Structure 1
Amino acid sequence: MTVLVVGADRLGNIEAFFRKQGYREILHVSGRKASDTAIHIPSHVHMVVVFTDFVNHNLARVIKAKAKERNIRVIFSKRSCSALAKTFCLA
């Protein structure tokens, strides 16, 4: 399975979290560049995670719309393992 992570400059131990959840490939986009709103979600992505404390509202809205078009699960979370685990379990 593949996850696309949007937000944060580096993933750190969050990469290990996704590996424990069974995701083999972790794609990462920092979300800091204005051109990131033109992001293309690869066809093999199973889930998109948006770190809300690193992206602007416009990018979050664009990601959500693109994922919804392709029926891909989207999770919005703060960038910490504990917040991600809590959001991951609730979604």
Structure 2
Amino acid sequence: MSVLIVGGDYVTSFKHHISTQNYARVEHWNGRKKGFNKRQIPNETQLVIVICDFVNHSLANSVKEKANRDGIPLMFCHRSVNELKDKLNTHQTDEDCCCRSFCEAKSQFQKLH
């Protein structure tokens, strides 16, 4: 499973936490250049995390629109790894999860590895 992190300059702690949650690949866009608005979300992406403190409104809206169009779950969080942990745990245990397909794919991935 692949996760895309949008925003932030130093996301090592985010990457470390995500990799401990059995995600295969983490890609990071820092969002500093104008061209990031035109980038396409990679096909294998199963979750998009936007770090709100470090992106401008146009990039956040662009990523949100692309993720919704492709049916990819989207999380907005601040620069806190603890907030990310809470949101990931909530999505894993929530019965009415807006990203049920993501949660199911993650559980299948965990069974395989």
Distance 2:76 2:42 in 1: 19
- Higher-Rg structure is 2
Q: RMSD of aligned C-alpha atoms?
A: 1.1
Unaligned runs of 5+ in 2: 92-113
Q: Which has the higher contact order (CA 8 A, sep 6+)?
A: 1
Secondary structure of residue in 1 paired with 2:45:
coil
| In structure 1, C-alpha distance between the alignment counterparts of 2:29 and 2:54, rounded to whole Å | 11
- Please give the alpha-carbon distance, in whole angstroms, between the structure 1 residues aligned to 2:81 and 2:49: 12
- Deviation per CA, 1:37-84, whole angstroms, max 9, x where unpaired? 112101100010000000011111110100111100000001221111
- Counterpart position of 2:90: 90
> Which residue matches 1:52?
52
Q: CA–CA distance in 1 between the matches of 2:88 and 2:20? A: 12
Q: Flag structure 1 segments of 5+ consecutive residues without an equivalent.
A: none
Q: Distance in 1 between matches of 2:77 and 2:32?
A: 17
2:73 aligns to what?
Answer: 73
| Aligned-residue identity in percent | 34
Output the amino acid matched with 1:33: K
Partner of 1:18: 18
TM value normalised by structure 1: 0.93
Runs of 4+ in structure 1 deviating by more than 4 angstroms, as ranges, are: none
